[in-house]
Amino acid sequence: MDPIRIGIVGMGKIARDQHLPAIRGDAAFSLAATVSPVADQGVDGAPHLPSLDALLAQGPAVDAIALCTPPQVRYDLAAQALARGIHVFLEKPPGATLAEVDALEACAARTGASLFAAWHSRFAAGVAPARAWLAERQIESVSIVWREDVRVWHPGQAWIWEPGGLGVFDPGINALSIATHILPRPFYLRAGTLLIPANRAAPIAADLSFCDTAGAEIHMDLDWRQTGAQSWDIIVETDAGTCKLSRGGAVLTLPSGAEHKEDREYPGLYARFATLIHSGRSDVDTSPLKLVADAFLRARRDTVEPFND
């Protein structure tokens, strides 16, 4: 079977740190091209084009694209590719709105192309075994603490503070992608507070109270002002003891002990994308984005001091 010829659209940090190594390490794919308006953002061994329009008009031919652009501009690019029958990998979050992701899913169904809303944290080493263990337990309560330093992880990225950029929910949605995957029952927002800097449009911190359909309370603490050690933890109290995912899902601790395996998030994503393409299917789960949208819909907004990089 010939490799899937894939182009990367958007050559920022996530593309270089994660997508390029995963593609190069997967025999199911070959890197056909990179796309960015910045001329020097290309890589050795692949043509570099200034836009998706240029790639589609001039070649080289691609079977799939990975969209690593900010979410606010992703819809038009994805729709353009899907209309041509090109498979599309959407970095998280899959779009700036839920409605546009629904429209893309419908477009993929019409054209037969595969659409993949990729939640990389679900492929962290501890997530699958945590899901299996929790499936047989009674959930009593859940604590999610996702605190990091935005200056370290998103320096100078103005788009992330704009409408559709999600602010602190850019990392927070990773936690929600895990929680919606491992918890055996759906959950919904009951109350919350968003802390929004006076000079920004998106929150820098959030405190959210969820509840699952059996009444278990789920508390989420998000903060982009953390310095020193970073916190990416999900703690689930059950009738059989505590399940803890730390380091963003990489480390699983159960009553029987801790497990820490190699980080294979993006290789796992690309293996999944290849499977979807070869089987003619799509995978577009918007449940994490729905919870973020609900936070903007229902949570109280408090203004805090301005934030500057």
Catalytic annotation, residues: 92
pLDDT band at 309 (very low <50, low <70, confident <90, very high): confident
d(CA 301, CA 232): 24
Q: Are strands 87-90 and 115-117 parallel, antiparallel or unpaired?
A: parallel
Residue 3 pLDDT > 80: yes
**Which pLDDT belongs to residue 263?**
76
Residue 55 pLDDT > 90: yes
Residue 184 pLDDT > 80: yes
Q: Among the listed ranges 34-43, 72-81, 137-146, which one has the minimum average pLDDT value? A: 34-43
Average pLDDT over residues 169-187: 98
Check residue 249 and report its DSSP letter: G
d(CA 103, CA 257): 44
Give the CATH fold of the 4-120+266-284 domain: Rossmann fold (3.40.50)
For 202-224, how does the pLDDT look when each residue is reduced to its tens digit (9 = 90+)?
A: 999 999 999 999 999 999 999 99
Check residue 118 and report its DSSP letter: -
d(CA 205, CA 197): 9
Residue 60 pLDDT > 80: yes
Residue of higher predicted confidence among 65 and 13 = 65
Question: Which residue, among 131, 115, 142, 132, has the nearest Cα to 218 in the 3D structure?
Answer: 142
Q: Where are the domains of the chain?
A: 4-120+266-284, 124-261+293-304
Average pLDDT over residues 150-176: 94
d(CA 197, CA 93): 22
Element (H, E) at 273: helix 265-279
For 234-279, how does the pLDDT look when each residue is reduced to its tens digit (9 = 90+)?
A: 999 999 999 999 999 999 999 988 777 777 899 999 999 999 999 9
Q: Report, at the CATH architecture level, how domain 124-261+293-304 is classified.
A: 2-Layer Sandwich (3.30)
> How many angstroms separate the Cα of 205 from the Cα of each of 171, 186, 193, 209?
11, 24, 8, 14
13 phi and psi angles, rounded to 5 deg: -60, -45
Check residue 239 and report its DSSP letter: T
d(CA 266, CA 92): 12
For 20-29, how does the pLDDT look when each residue is reduced to its tens digit (9 = 90+)?
A: 999 999 999 9
pLDDT band at 166 (very low <50, low <70, confident <90, very high): very high
Tell me if 4-120+266-284 shares its fold with 124-261+293-304: no
**Which pLDDT belongs to residue 262?**
72
d(CA 90, CA 86): 13
Average pLDDT over residues 274-303: 98
Cβ(114)–Cβ(281) below 8 Å: yes
**Which pLDDT belongs to residue 112?**
97
Question: Which residue, among 194, 216, 196, 217, has the nearest Cα to 207 in the 3D structure?
Answer: 194
Sheet containing 64-67: order of strands: 48-49, 29-35, 4-9, 64-67, 87-90, 115-117
- Mean model confidence pLDDT for the chain: 96
Residue 298 pLDDT > 80: yes
d(CA 95, CA 74): 6
Average pLDDT over residues 104-129: 97
Question: Which residue, among 80, 89, 93, has the nearest Cα to 121 in the 3D structure?
Answer: 93
pLDDT band at 290 (very low <50, low <70, confident <90, very high): very high
Cβ(251)–Cβ(258) below 8 Å: yes
Sheet containing 241-246: order of strands: 257-260, 251-254, 241-246, 231-238, 139-147, 217-223, 205-212, 187-197, 300-304
C-beta atoms surrounding 195 within 10 Å? 21
Given the structure tokens 């945590």, which residue do they identify?
A: 130
For 130-151, how does the pLDDT look when each residue is reduced to its tens digit (9 = 90+)?
A: 999 999 899 999 999 999 999 9
Average pLDDT over residues 38-51: 91
Token pair recorded at residue 284:
């577009």
